[in-house]
Amino acid sequence: MHRQKKQGLSTTAIHAGYHSDPQTGALATPIYQTSTFVFSSTEEGAKRFSGEEAGYIYSRLGNPTITVLEEKMAALEKAEAGLAFASGMAAVSSILMALVRTGDHILGTKGLYGCTYGLLTLMKDRFAVNYSLCDMTDEDSIRQMLQPTTRVIYVETPINPTMELVDLKLVVKIAKEIDAYVVVDNTFMSPYLQRPIEYGCDIVIHSATKFIGGHGDVIAGVAVGPKSIMDSIRMTTQKDMGGILAPFDAYLLIRGLKTLGVRMDRHCENGQRVAEFLHNHPKVAIVHYPGLPHFPQYELACEQMDGFGGLLAFELEGGMEAGIRMMNNVRLCKRAVSLGDVDSLIQHPASMTHSVIPAEERWKMGITDGLIRLSVGIEDVEDIIDDLDAALSFA
């Protein structure tokens, strides 16, 4: 008896969720650019609204193009179901609002993305949902920060922008003891390099703007997890808060996913080369990149991830002023926030992505005023290195 081999991730990214249009044979996923759907009868409409019959009603509740994206992402992350959102923060806010109630506690990794930090602050001030930020590299530190009301452990790994890792197996073990959800922001890695569901995490979130799209032309978010939870969120916080992805944007993400594997391989290859160059440069004080053997969590990176990605951070010997001079003299690398594009992007977290976080809190997170984050693109790596080398001469 022939046993079918396990399908590879690149094959899944290309083929999952869609097998050509049955009526036209269209190879590319059609864009169903419609706000609403016609029922063949009043009875059919009633059955769809009651959930008795499957089918589309209104694009805020579901759309065929968006369904393909959701199914692809669920297949890639090895989850049961997915949900697409209008932005990464729409995904984060809808998921967290669905999982917690007034009086609950969220334990998050220190160094959270600035807007996620802002959301947690808002939830605490407006709705009395408490939160704490924790160094999750150490089991004792996690346990000390737990509260009787901890409902969610929210993880970014690698952490933005210090690239610090969180041991997912450890977090899942602790969460199961207290019956808490583990929610992981997997934006930095993509499912091509890391799949938290395989370690027992409950929900995975992506800013699909980044590596999933990959071309800097769409804003979107995706969440995947158990079907029961995703179905509930679809009909509650997603529907009622309304952060819904447009069909055309879903089409762009589907197209981007078809090259996810080749792009991530190049991001990893270039990221490693650039990190090694910076590590050996006399004006660079330290490089934060999981693929460098001296990285404190190098062994965990090798165990938990299938590659080291294209994100890194570094500090210059001359500190903040040297960093500004260096950034102002790049030519190929673009001074821009975001990450995961085919273009190399360079930014200053303290004044840009993490500026909403108070300085003292940032410093505790390891985000110094002189830290620079680089999203290494897929250009010819020698051109990236030449650009950085020339800019560093001004540092």
Does residue 60 have an active-site annotation? Answer: yes
- Give me the phi and psi of 156, to 5 degrees please: -110, 130
Q: Which helix (H) or strand (E) holds 224?
A: strand 221-225
How many CB atoms lie under 10 A from the CB of residue 44?
Answer: 14
Tokens of 357: 């976080």
Distance CA 291, CA 204 (A): 23
DSSP states of 183-222 = EEE-TTTHHHH--GGGGT-SEEEEETTTTTT-SS----EE
> What's the CA gap between 283 and 85, in Å, rounded?
42
List 185, 202, 249, 387, catalytic entry: 185
217 catalytic, yes or no?
Answer: no
Asked whether the beta carbons of 332 and 374 are under 8 A apart, the reply is: no
234 is a catalytic site residue: no
Active-site option among 47, 56, 60, 383: 60
- Residue 113 bears catalytic tag: yes
Catalytic residue among 113, 181, 251, 289: 113
3-state helix, strand, coil split of the chain in percent (to 5) is 40, 15, 45
Q: What are phi and psi for residue 305, nearest 5 degrees?
A: -125, 150
**Residues taking part in catalysis:** 60, 113, 185, 210
